[in-house]
């Protein structure tokens, strides 16, 4: 059973740790997952503080090549640079 409490800057929640294969798992209710923008398969960093707090930080997914190229604008492109011929290149 989950118990939620309001906390300054957010909220805290009690839940039950359950066995999942050889590991332990904590269920995250869907409304909290939506709020912190995570879903099944999201990679997260877990940080355990000195006061035994557990912080879950979603990792930003690696951008695709198309996403990176969409950020290339004419003002940050450069022309080809001719370094001359080095070695025995065929072209």
Phi and psi of 45, rounded to 5°? -100, 130
Helix (H) or strand (E) holding 45: strand 44-48
Q: Quick one: which of 29, 24, 25, 26 has its CA closest to 11? A: 29
Rounded distance, CA 26 to CA 14, Å? 10
Looking at CATH, the fold of the domain delimited by 3-76 is given as Pemi-like Protein 1; Chain: D (2.10.260)
- Contact yes or no for 8/35 (Cβ under 8 A): no
User: What is the pTM (predicted TM-score) of this model?
Assistant: 0.47
Tell me the domain boundaries of the chain: 3-76
pLDDT of residue 5: 53
| pLDDT averaged over 10-residue windows placed end to end, the chain, 91 residues | 55 84 90 86 85 79 86 85 75 61
Mean pLDDT of the chain: 80
């Amino acid at each position: 059973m989950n118990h939620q409490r309001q906390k300054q800057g957010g909220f805290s929640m009690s839940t039950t740790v359950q066995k999942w294969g050889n590991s332990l798992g904590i269920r995250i209710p869907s409304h909290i997952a939506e709020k912190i923008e995570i879903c099944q398969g999201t990679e997260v960093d877990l940080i355990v503080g000195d006061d035994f707090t557990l912080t879950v930080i979603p990792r930003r997914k690696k951008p695709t090549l198309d996403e990176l190229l969409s950020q290339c604008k004419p003002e940050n492109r450069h022309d080809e640079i001719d370094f001359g011929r080095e070695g025995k290149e065929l072209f």
